[in-house]
Every structure is written in structure tokens, then in C-alpha cells.
Amino acid sequence: MGLYKNFVSQTRKPEGTLGKMMVNGMNGGHAKMADWGIAHLIIDSPSEVLEIGCGGGRNAGEILKKYPSGYVTAIDYSEVSVAKARDYNKEAIEAKKMEVNQGDVSALNLPEEKFDLATAFETIYFWPGLERCFSEVARVLKTGGSFMIVNESDGTDSASLKFEKIIDGMKCYTIDDIKSALKTAGFSDIKSFHHETKPWITVIATK
């Protein structure tokens, strides 16, 4: 269990060799779920997008494909993830359509009212307090901006709850949990979607 726990725990903050192995698998492993979530974005073309907890960077690239006239700022608090995401999105970065930086969602070093859209794929499980972190997201979103959360777990599926017991600091949330925290953080007009056959969920809220 020791090595296995060490490996799966890299989902929280990839570090070292095991972290690089984990990040290398993230882009492909979550692609279908991420694309399902992105399909629910029907907002007008945002000029500034914040991708939080970007992991290997694949989803930041897909957001830019959906909104090619926009600019994507991707952040992650893992140096390993930032390096991978920069490599994955090298062309977009060189074209000055994207930047990837190290950052902490609980204390975003970003201007207020900057972004039209914020996204978070498979990451809020590890955020240190949803209300606090959601409030930080609200702070950097423009009034009327959107925040999309996409999770592989609906907070009740047995597979994810098993990982919750193994990975320190992991917490699976239900749609109701997420909605409640969003409302506390000042969001409204909250829409949610649950996959027909999988525990995947998407929640989209407006500041």
C-alpha cells in the first residue's frame, strides 16, 4: 500500500519522479470527462480565462480551442504540473495566447475583476476550504463572469470515496455541497449537470 498510496497521492500535488508519472497520465486519463464538461459552456467568447489547477495543461489548451480569440491564464501549485503544462501548450504560449504560472487558489496573486471565465477540472477535492477558495475565484472574476467546475466524482461514488480515504487532504463533494459553497461565496444562477451513466458532474455559476 505504501508505494500505491504515494503514487495516487500525487494527484494532490505532483512532485518528483512519481509526480511526473502522474501528470503524464492526467491529460489522457481525464480527457473524455473534461470534454463532456466543456461541452456545457455556452457563454459568449470570453477575452480572459483562468484555468485553476491546470495539471498537465490539456484542458487549458482545449479551452483555448473553444475560445480562440481569448487569452488563457493557467495556474497550478505544483512545479511539476506547471512545467508539463508549459511544454504541452508551448505553441500557444509562444503565440502569446496563454501563460502558465505557479499559483495557489486560496490566495490568488491576480487582479480583481480580471477574468470572464474561470474553470476547475478535477481539482476542488484538494482545495483548502471551498467557501474561502470560491471567494478568491469570485474576487478575480468580472461581475457577470462564469465559474465552471468539472469533477469525475459526484461525492457519492464508491471508487472516489475509496481514494478519499487513501489520499490525505482529499474531499469529495456532492452537487449540493458545491452549490452551497458557491452561494456563500457570492455566486448565483447556478446550473448543474450529472452524466447519465457516470458520476461525472459539471457545475456552472455566475458572479
What is the CATH number that goes with domain 2-37+45-102+109-206?
A: 3.40.50.150
Provide the strand spans (E) within the chain: 48-52, 71-76, 98-102, 115-121, 141-151, 188-194, 201-206
State how far the Cα of 140 lies from the Cα of 117, in Å rounded to an integer.
10
Query: Is residue 91's pLDDT more than 60?
Result: yes
Q: Could you report the per-residue pLDDT of 99-146, keeping only the tens digit for each? A: 999 999 999 999 999 999 999 999 999 999 999 999 999 999 999 999
Closest CA to 55 of 111, 93, 10: 10
pLDDT, position 24: 54
Average pLDDT over residues 175-189: 97
pTM: 0.89
User: Mean pLDDT of all residues in the chain?
Assistant: 88
Percent of the chain scoring above 70 in pLDDT: 85
DSSP state, 198? Answer: S
pLDDT, position 167: 72
Q: Could you report the per-residue pLDDT of 16-67, keeping only the tens digit for each? A: 554 445 555 566 667 899 999 999 999 888 999 999 999 999 999 999 999 9
Domain boundaries, the chain: 2-37+45-102+109-206
Q: CB neighbours of 133 closer than 8 A, spacing ≥ 6?
A: 105, 106, 124, 127
pLDDT, position 93: 98
Closest CA to 149 of 200, 113, 82, 97: 200
State how far the Cα of 66 lies from the Cα of 60, in Å rounded to an integer.
10
pLDDT, position 22: 53
State how far the Cα of 74 lies from the Cα of 110, in Å rounded to an integer.
12
Closest CA to 121 of 168, 48, 63, 177: 63
| Residues, the chain | 207
pLDDT, position 1: 44
